[in-house]
Structure 1
Amino acid sequence: MALSTAIMPEGLLARDLSGDDAELAFGAGLDALLDVLDRFDIRATFAVPAVIAAVEADRVRQLAEAGHEIAALGFRHEDPTELPPDVERVRLRATAYAIGETTGNAPAGWYGLPRQGDRYAAGSVSPNTVDLLIDEGFEYLGNGMADDTPHYWVTDPEPPKALVTMPYSYHSDDQFFLQFPPLALRGGSGIEHPDVLASNWRSAFAAQYDRGRMFTMTLHPHIIGTLHRIRMLEEFLASVTENEDVWIATAKQCADHWRAQHPPETHLRLEPSIWTE
């Protein structure tokens, strides 16, 4: 649940928990989003920083009680790339503990913070993040750009050490279309042209449906849950649910399914990398 596009690498600060974006994220915007999800009987994955699990404990607990998955979005929504391994491990553990205290269950998934200035802001991980996630018992990493289906992020081929990684695409992320001006719309921004995102959703879903593959979308309550945007989401979900054999699932459900159908013991054929230091 992103609160602001101005989040710096040090993570959430007190000022980020006040103002219009924060009010929408946990107020009217979230209510509107949940209303649409409920009407389509959809249970989603909400990525939540540890500090939000504590500060907004009631709302986060309500999400979990309604059947939504609560995944981790860092300790303070920070960039871990410069953290020493021991500090990053402490933050992973503290995040799992804080979310578990609020919801009753430790998070299965971990999502990274997109770094400012990255050309493809998919979410940052340090050289140690995936190894630490495996060691700390996380079941999947939520944002990978290597494929458009779940896949294994391998940290060591011998003995095999790998983590299920869920696909992410900024092409289906409301933030990049509705908050930042797309390059193709030099005369305006996504605020005036939300139909560009809707068109992207429709074409991407159609392509993945025809191929029998996975389509993912990323939503921020304070962005999608306002004005005509929430109607746009409702219309898209209505068109999706008209199709046969569509399974709408949380990230954990997808990761569990992938692991069951493609167990690493039989489907990972690993060899040492050809690349050397």
Structure 2
Amino acid sequence: MWHFISEQISDNVGHDFICDDIREVKQGDTHKAYKISDGRHRYFIKLNDSGQLANFSAEAEGLSHLKACEVMRVPTVICHGVVEDHSFLVLEHITMQDGDKDDWFTFGQQLALLHKNQTQEMYGWQDDNYIGQTPQPNQWHKKWARFFAEQRIGYMLQLLAERGESLPDIDRCVEATERLLHGHQPVASLLHGDLWSGNTGFHQHQAVLFDPAMYYGDREADIAMTELFGKFPQAFYDGYNDQWALDEHYSYRKPVYQLYHILNHAVMFGGQYLTSAKATLNTLDA
């Protein structure tokens, strides 16, 4: 397997690469990850079963698109494919460090610029992709409230219902979400889509983004995610607002944007996430 991956790397970088140092690194709960080296060059490898190739293909597309925006550091995609019974994704290896206050402030500014400058007329994405291991539908839509209610909240609820989970009525929850967002027609900004601390880092004081779940939507959805699983440092929000201040009603919409990610974690892991999701849904459906 490693010989084949080395050959694929060689073909894509234009020089011979034969890995002689393979080290597994901790990288989430959904796949295995490795750092490989030939003594001169290093690469970051994700491995999963062969059925996960579509997930890696979507990630590669998102990373390449995000990198082309030239706003923040994004690892270069080297190659992806299938070998034996494994799918793989090879990325540039970037050594991460913690950021200081100034780094986080600049990161906030850069994200605001991404949201402000990378826009288009409709909500969605050119293809369906994934949020973690969960499929994420992205059919283009002109109305944000309908897009988010149906393709985010409604879709996750349907996945949970198909697993036999007892939930509030899906149609009522979708309608309640649409009512909550009714009249809110924000700029369709390019979103990272899964923006939490585990998908960010810093290299030489420069912010790095990875593991996107990209689509065009309300920029507040990205900000809400940064506040869900361990809020980013305040300097980040200061930097963001320095470039493009959040709307005064953001806090009203934040819970429903966070609900999407809680539902996704309920789909992937169940347990306390399902309990939390049900509590929020009951409030939404009240």
TM > 0.5 fold call: no
TM-score range, shorter chain: under 0.3
User: Structure 1 length normalisation: TM-score?
Assistant: 0.24
Structure with max Cα Rg = 2
User: Structure 2 length normalisation: TM-score?
Assistant: 0.24
* Greater strand fraction, Structure 1 or Structure 2: 2
